[in-house]
Amino acid sequence: MHTPAARGMTLIELMVVVAIIAILATISATAVGPMVSRYRQMVSAEAASQIVSQARVEARQQGRCYRVQVTAAGTPVAPGTPGDALHVVRRSNADCKTTTPTLVADARFADVRLPAGIQALVPTASAEPEFRPNGYTQNGLDTELQVGPAGAPTTRITIRSYGPICANLMSAAVTCP
């Protein structure tokens, strides 16, 4: 009588399969890392654009001046200083001409917290985006926000004095209409 041979895998075959899986996992991890970083930057820029647009709309609807501030650890920072969140405040009264206004938070706006490693800043040459009740920027000039990895922003959010709010890559030659 003939007994069938035992079936199964040898230890060497099993080790080869595990090694192939490890190599594929390593290749996948190195390919996915940069995509995740670009996705975080894209989502952060989109969130920044949205909160700026909402502040403009709210200024028109409420008849008050609204400002978008860059904050670091919950404290507003000066232009040229990077921060980890965006915060919307409004003037406490309808006077939009006072140069040192009393600003109060608007509970309808949640802060936009940026993911770890992503920062926002208002360039030194620009002013914080502040919108008057007619929707124009406070000083009547265009301004911008920059969003991206610490020390190397990749996206420029251009805020026209009265017009579109555009998000473009810093390296792109595309201008906001």
Q: pLDDT by residue (tens digit) across 94-144?
A: 888 888 888 998 888 999 999 988 999 999 888 889 999 998 998 888 899
Taking 80 as the threshold, does the pLDDT of residue 173 lie above it?
no
- Domains of the chain are 35-169 (3.55.40.10)
- Whole-structure pTM over 0.95, yes or no? no
| Polymer length in residues for the chain | 177
Contacts of 136 (CB under 8 A, 6+ apart): 161, 162
Tokens 């190397």 identify what position? 152
Backbone phi, psi, residue 64, to 5°: -130, 160
Q: Nearest to residue 154, comparing CAs of 35, 80, 45, 50?
A: 45
Buried b (16+ CB within 10 A) or exposed e, 137-159: bbeeeebbbbbbeeeebbbbbbb
Please state, in angstroms and rounded to a whole number, the distance separating the CA atoms of residues 107 and 102.
16
Please state, in angstroms and rounded to a whole number, the distance separating the CA atoms of residues 54 and 50.
6
